[in-house]
Amino acid sequence: GLQVSSQRMRNRRKEIACRSDIERLTPCFLSIYESLIPPDEEKEKQKQLLASLEKLVNKEWPGAQLFLYGSCANTFGVSNSDIDVCMTLDDAGTSKSDILLKLAEILESDNLQNVQALTRARVPIVKLMDPVTKISCDICINNVLALVNTKLLRDYAQIDVRLRQLAFIVKHWAKSRGVNETYHGTLSSYAYVLMCIHFLQSRRPAILPCLQGMKATYVVNIDSVDYAYFDRVEELHDFGAVNNESIGYLLWAFFDYWAYCHDYANDVISVRTAGIISKREKDWTRRIGNDRHLICIEDPFEVNHDLGRVVDKYSIKILREEFERAADVLQYDPNPSVKLFEPY
């Protein structure tokens, strides 16, 4: 395995893409990016739904608050996505399951549709659809860390627009090619965005800084653990300006990295440190339970959590073939902006 992949790397070195050729793709990918951005009305509708749901739950739990998280709040969401909502409340006595069942009952009696409590999921939720706006929504309970990692992603997005451009196109590619399904052993949208952040932190000169490596200006304490990082991102708006790589080239370089340069046998990518950590250091070298660590992406806050753990020996092959296909399409195909997103 190792020999084959280093051979592949060597072959590739000879024919590394010519930057000016690849940069010709930039206008085309920029217009795809623009077309994926959700219109302002959609954000407005989501906020209104959130407010009316909050009013409803406050009848049962006066102190409860609802927050958007995930792609509708981290600025990496495309049009017509489902929304992710987190309800926070002091639940000293009651179990999460009981709260979710009660919540489902309340929602159902208010005529929300397709209400379903999934109390046994890894993240237990209630699902619903609002018949007025047709927005589908998942509500989880007290998942405060998800709110913090949502803010981290949103803060990174504000530093350099190339992150949002790259992540939109990578997510669109992953959905089109069927490799954005944790259920089938491929990666979550959250994992892809972390891969994009890490990639832009690793450019030379760097396009993104390492917010968790800087002086903390934002600190939250959850279950007696502090989560902290520098969040005054408006002070960093020209951080990446010395690097003038455009989205066409970055997109190719992203796929080229995951196709031919990443060391799957030894390396863990880490946004927390803006670098690579060895699998050995994290003790992620062998399968433990269901965690196989075939592609390793460290969660920025739950550092024992590998977002690649859903990937198995079959899906790792599919993923790597898709990375190679994407890199090759961008480098050689006469019509890459169509071919890249071709349904699988």
Q: Which parts of this chain interact with Mg ion (CB under 5 A)?
A: 70-71, 84
Q: Judged by CB under 6 A, does residue 190 bind ligand ATP?
A: yes
Minimum Å gap between C-beta 287 and Mg ion is: 29
Q: Judged by CB under 6 A, does residue 255 bind ligand ATP?
A: no
Alpha-helical regions (H) of 177-265? 189-202, 247-256
Exactly one of 46, 75, 150, 186 binds ligand ATP (CB under 6 A); which one? 150
Q: Which is nearer to Mg ion, 130 or 328 (CB)?
A: 130
Q: Judged by CB under 6 A, does residue 186 bind ligand ATP?
A: no
Gap between the Cα atoms of 164 and 120, Å rounded: 33
Q: 181, 189 in Cβ contact below 8 A? A: no
Minimum Å gap between C-beta 106 and ligand ATP is: 23
Q: Which is nearer to Mg ion, 66 or 277 (CB)?
A: 66
Minimum Å gap between C-beta 137 and ligand ATP is: 12
Partner touching 94 among ligand ATP, Mg ion, none, CB below 5 to 8 Å by kind: none
Q: Which of 168, 160, 163 is nearest to 71 (CA)?
A: 168
Sheet containing strand 113-118, edge to edge, reads 65-69, 83-88, 136-141, 125-129, 113-118
Exactly one of 88, 133, 158, 188 binds ligand ATP (CB under 6 A); which one? 188
Minimum Å gap between C-beta 339 and ligand ATP is: 23
Q: Which of 87, 81, 52 is nearest to 68 (CA)?
A: 87
Surface-to-core class of residue 94, CB atoms within 10 Å of its CB (0-12 exposed, 13-18 middle, 19+ buried): middle
Q: Judged by CB under 6 A, does residue 146 bind ligand ATP?
A: yes
Paired tokens of 148: 């913090």
H/E segment holding residue 269: strand 267-270
Count H helices and E strands in the chain, helices first. 12, 10
Rg of the chain on CA atoms, in Å: 21
Exactly one of 53, 112, 307, 330 binds ligand ATP (CB under 6 A); which one? 307
Strands 83-88 and 136-141, by their bridges, are parallel
Paired tokens of 99: 């709260």
Minimum Å gap between C-beta 196 and ligand ATP is: 12
Q: Judged by CB under 6 A, does residue 84 bind ligand ATP?
A: yes
Surface-to-core class of residue 226, CB atoms within 10 Å of its CB (0-12 exposed, 13-18 middle, 19+ buried): exposed
Minimum Å gap between C-beta 2 and ligand ATP is: 28
Q: Which of 165, 171, 238 is nearest to 206 (CA)?
A: 238
Exactly one of 46, 75, 149, 331 binds ligand ATP (CB under 6 A); which one? 149
Of 5-13, 158-166, 195-203, 299-307, the window that binds ligand ATP (rule: CB under 6 A) is 299-307
Task: Give the footprint of ligand ATP on residues 12-71 (CB under 6 A).
Answer: 69-71
Q: Judged by CB under 6 A, does residue 142 bind ligand ATP?
A: no
Q: 160, 196 in Cβ contact below 8 A? A: no
Exactly one of 46, 189, 246, 331 binds ligand ATP (CB under 6 A); which one? 189
How many residues interact with ligand ATP (rule CB under 6 A)? Answer: 17
H/E segment holding residue 22: helix 19-23
Q: Which is nearer to ligand ATP, 46 or 246 (CB)?
A: 46
Partner touching 299 among ligand ATP, Mg ion, none, CB below 5 to 8 Å by kind: ligand ATP
Binding residues for ligand ATP (CB under 6 A): 69-71, 74, 76-77, 81, 84, 146, 149-150, 188-190, 299, 305, 307
